[in-house]
Amino acid sequence: MRKEFSDCYDLVVYQIYPRSFMDSNGDGIGDLGGVLSRLDYVKDLGANAIWLCPIFKSPQCDNGYDVSDYRDIDPIYGTMADFDALLAAAHERGIKVIMDFVANHTSSEHEWFQRARLSKNDPYHDYYYWADEPLTDWRSEFGGSAWEFNEPTGEYYLHSFAVGQPDVNWTNPKVREEYAAIVDFWVGKGVDGFRCDVLDHVSKDFKKGLRRNGPHLHEYIREVFGRDHLTNIYTVGEAETTEESILATCGQDRRELKSVFQFSHLMVGRQGKYTPVPHRMDEVKDIVEGWERFTQERDLLYILLTDNHDRPWFISRTGNDRALRYECATNVATAIFLQRGIPFVYEGQEIGCANSHFPDLSAFNDVECLGYYEENKGKIPEATLLEQINFGSRDNTRRPFAWDGTPNHGFTTAAAPWLPYASRADEINLAADLAAERSIYRYYQQLFALRRERVALRRGKSTQLLPESKDCYVYLREHEGERLLVVCNFERAQSLDGLPEGRLLLTNLDRAAGANGAYAPFECAVYDLTK
Ligand code: BGC
């Protein structure tokens, strides 16, 4: 594997949703000063990179995924000087900084669109998609038609997401030059990587009805990210995840992206976004294991994750986030983060955050769930709709970080934060976790310390053991004579046998026994088998 790819196995990425992480200026909204003040927290966890969700200038209709100036910081987060200070402080601590790259759409407030919408003759007009009549019957991801009428030119423009997020026309070479220059601007500042938002949407085919993964996707990605000076820049894309497209995007000879997210295991336990369905953790294991095998055989990087800002909490959907919250959170972390790939931890996951329950819509902000509500009110009974939104809203993972159990949870000095705290923040907060007999945060520290110390956990080959056994995930990681065994039991108490025995390195309960024998629900253990 090429060095710039294999080095990626040393990354442990901590994803930050800046408006909800830490507020340093008392306005109720998290900011860059807040992130800076918590860098040691991130480092102590064992992460060595942060991915910042968008902090660029934005009207915030989709919390920053609607960018109005790619080269400036939104005032709610601070200034460019604050960013420079954060970048320097992160680098001093050996923490890399990964920026969000939002290139399928701009904000409708972006200067390009402001000019484009006024005249067909403006050179910026061709930066977007226009038509006299909607070209397709596409629905926006956030509800309603994906085409919006624009008075001044008498045309419709495409917005795959909110009305305030017009899709950019990547068939225009000037657009591609603009985005390449934006990448260079941030690389020039010293950032280490990019997480590319809905990148597969940048190539479309209206005639064939393709909203994404269109015929020019790969050449466009190469034009921006395949340039020589970006060889050591880390990239991870949100893109289509068929085997074929992953190979096409991430192959080491492709000069496109270093990695893409695979989200299929995160659909377990729900139908669409808002309806829970019965499920078993084995389904998650089977999907993860399938991708492990696929990526390993082809020397591709795999992203290890269970949570991000676009999904409710994983342990609430797939496990027991009440009586066994500690067990579940630590078990899932062990099963996923010791695999072969790059761990991505989402803020709050490391203290076992769980979904909230609110009695009315006023506690929600997410443009997606509010759009869902608008489309379905009157069709679905109000109480059911509210249950669905509590279950599926992205706000579950976007609520301000609860650092402690005080009324403002150590997040802000403002009377109220921008979005209500999680409904269980008095119970689930960092201080409470650290004070508990069993701390999820401390377990994460041990887990990542182990990953750091044992090369087999980073570079080693992965082999699943007991593939036929139900309700557990057991695998070996091996590298040049070093052999480790990871055993994660899922929901039911059961006895496992036939496993190789070794020295116990880590366990989330009080396991004294060897690898074989009885396991409690969500008990896990890691053994050293090295001779
Ligand atoms: C981001 C979302 C955002 C959408 C539109 C996604 O994949 O992660 O948070 O709403 O793209 O930019």
Provide the pLDDT for residue 66. Answer: 98
Look at residue 469 and tell me whether its pLDDT is greater than 90: no
Do 356 and 504 lie in a common domain?
no
167 in a structural domain: no
Q: Which atom of ligand 1 is nearest to the CA of 238?
A: 7
Q: What 3-state class would DSSP assign to 435?
A: helix
Residues acting as catalytic residues: 197, 238
Domain count, the chain: 3
Spatial CA neighbour of 54 closest among 37, 38, 36, 30? 30
Q: Report pLDDT digits (tens) over 298-328.
A: 999 999 999 999 999 999 999 999 999 999 9
Backbone phi, psi, residue 441, to 5°: -55, -45
Residues 6+ apart with CB under 8 A from 508: 326, 327, 330, 331, 334, 438, 443, 522, 523, 524, 525
Confidence of residue 432 (pLDDT cuts 50, 70, 90): very high
Tell whether 478 and 348 lie within a shared domain. no
Pair 428, 494 in one domain: no
pLDDT over 70 percentage in the chain: 100
The CATH number of residue 468's host domain is 2.60.40.1180
For tokens 């409710």, the residue is: 312
User: Which atom of ligand 1 lies nearest, measured to the CA of 105?
Assistant: 12
- In-domain check, residue 166: no
Task: Tell whether 153 and 289 lie within a shared domain.
Answer: no
In a domain, 452, yes or no: no
User: How large is the average pLDDT for residues 167-184?
Assistant: 98
Residue 463 one-letter amino acid = T
Is 431 in the same domain as 470? no
| 491, 376: one domain | no
**Do 154 and 178 lie in a common domain?**
no
Rounded-to-integer distance, Cα 492 and Cα 472, Å: 9
- 322 and 252 in a common domain: yes
Looking at the fold, whether 436 and 523 belong to one and the same domain comes out as no
Instruction: Tell me, yes or no, whether 1 lies in a domain.
Output: no
Q: Determine the 3-state secondary structure of 385 from DSSP.
A: helix
Say if 97 falls within a structural domain.
Answer: yes
* CATH at residue 149: 3.90.400.10
Mutate to test the pocket of ligand 1, among 15, 310, 397 (most ligand atoms within 8 A of CB): 310
Residue 342's domain is classified under what CATH number?
Answer: 3.20.20.80
Predicted pLDDT at 474 = 98
Stretch 55-75: mean pLDDT: 98
**pTM to 2 decimal places:** 0.98
Does any domain span residue 34? yes
In a domain, 450, yes or no: no
The residue contributing the CA closest to ligand 1 atom 3 is 65
CA 238 – ligand 1 centroid, Å: 9
Residue 419 C-alpha to ligand 1 middle, in angstroms?
18
Do 259 and 129 share a structural domain? no
163: in domain: no
Model pLDDT, residue 240: 84
User: What is residue 261's predicted lDDT score, i.e. its pLDDT?
Assistant: 97
Q: Do 370 and 264 share a structural domain?
A: yes
Same-domain status, 502 and 362: no
Domain extent, residue 139, equals 111-158
